[in-house]
Amino acid sequence: MCGRVYLKTNLEGLLRAFAFAKRDGAEGLANQMPRFNGAPSQYYPVIIRDVIRDDGVMGPVFIAARWGLIPGWIKERKPGQPAPINAKAETIATNGMFRGAYKSRRCLVPIDGFFEWKDIHGTGKNKQPYAIAMKSGEPFVLAGIWETWRDPGTDEDIRTFCVVTCEPNEMMATIHDRMPVILHPEDYDRWISPEPEAADLMKPFPAELMTMWKIGSKVGSPRNDSADILDPVD
């Protein structure tokens, strides 16, 4: 699964790195970046295909969306009802929770890296956290899907998203049985295109382009959000 990410790049740097997308929709997140220990339920800058000109032309645009998908067809959420943070590539096209968004509301989730925990003894009690990123050190993109849900209590439209996961590559398989779907730059446009099917893009990213390292237990609490979370440990 993918349940924690980091964005050490501030918002302005992130917008420059993905300058093909119109930036206006994410400006409100400027004071929330960088974020060294990003968790579900927080808002993130994601890229969708939306109307960007008065003449109705569609194009990539940044928006702010909350991590944890709430389908638009849900009328009312029960207190404490969880919002899925991941969608499996193998079932995303058939699962009623995700299939509508997969067909018409896919998004790009730019990050600098993510975290995963290795179950050291197979008991679930002792886990070693790892940070995972690109060898180049550059920001990259996770495949996501998004929805707009209207809160009946406030009549507010809330945009939400979740991250697509797939089988692990050789590197990730040493610590976990899943990994987020990472997209190559040449596939960004197709992933957020109106094309209803993109199954061939949901596959493990090449391990040779990635790196990972052990980090300390401080990452375990989302309340900890400082740069030293990324410091390697022996």
Which residues are catalytic, by number? 2, 116
Taking a C-beta distance cutoff of 8 angstroms, is the pair 141, 163 a contact? Answer: no
Q: Residue holding tokens 């300390």?
A: 216
Instruction: Supply the DSSP string of 153-203, one letter for each residue.
Output: TTTEEEEEEEEEEE---TTGGGT-S-EEPEEPGGGHHHHTSS-S--GGG-S
Taking a C-beta distance cutoff of 8 angstroms, is the pair 175, 143 a contact? Answer: no
Q: Do β-strands 127-134 and 210-214 pair in parallel, antiparallel, or remain unpaired?
A: antiparallel
- Least Cα distance to 112 among 78, 140, 90 occurs for 140
Buried b (16+ CB within 10 A) or exposed e, 131-150: bbbeeeeebbbbbbbbbebe
Question: Which structure tokens are listed for 191?
Answer: 């992933």
Provide the CA 131 distance to its chain's centre, in angstroms.
15
> Is residue 134 within a helix (H) or strand (E), and if so which, with residue range?
strand 127-134
Question: Which structure tokens are listed for 15?
Answer: 């917008």
